[in-house]
Amino acid sequence: MKACRHCRLITYDKKKERCDHCNSTDLSGDYSGIAVITNPEKSEIAKKLNINKKGHYALKVR
């Protein structure tokens, strides 16, 4: 699993070289915490993390 350093989206495919959300190539396997966002329009956590798309997101990416 890797997390994007730009948008924090987690990808479960270890062979991926690009983020599915922002198309960044800056992925890291060093992250902590996971937030599962199912309804970003109504989620207070999504608003605080500035997330507008469904998915699994890392809380902190190093």
pLDDT > 90? residue 53? yes
Give the number of C-alpha atoms closer than 13 A to the C-alpha of residue 49, restricted to the C-beta side.
Answer: 27
pLDDT > 90? residue 54? yes
Alpha helix segments (H runs only) across 1-62: 44-49
What confidence score (pLDDT) does residue 14 get?
83
Strand partners, 36: 56
CATH 2.20.28.90 fits 2-61, yes or no: yes
What confidence score (pLDDT) does residue 3 get?
97
pLDDT tens profile 5-52: 999 999 999 888 999 999 999 999 999 999 999 999 999 999 999 999
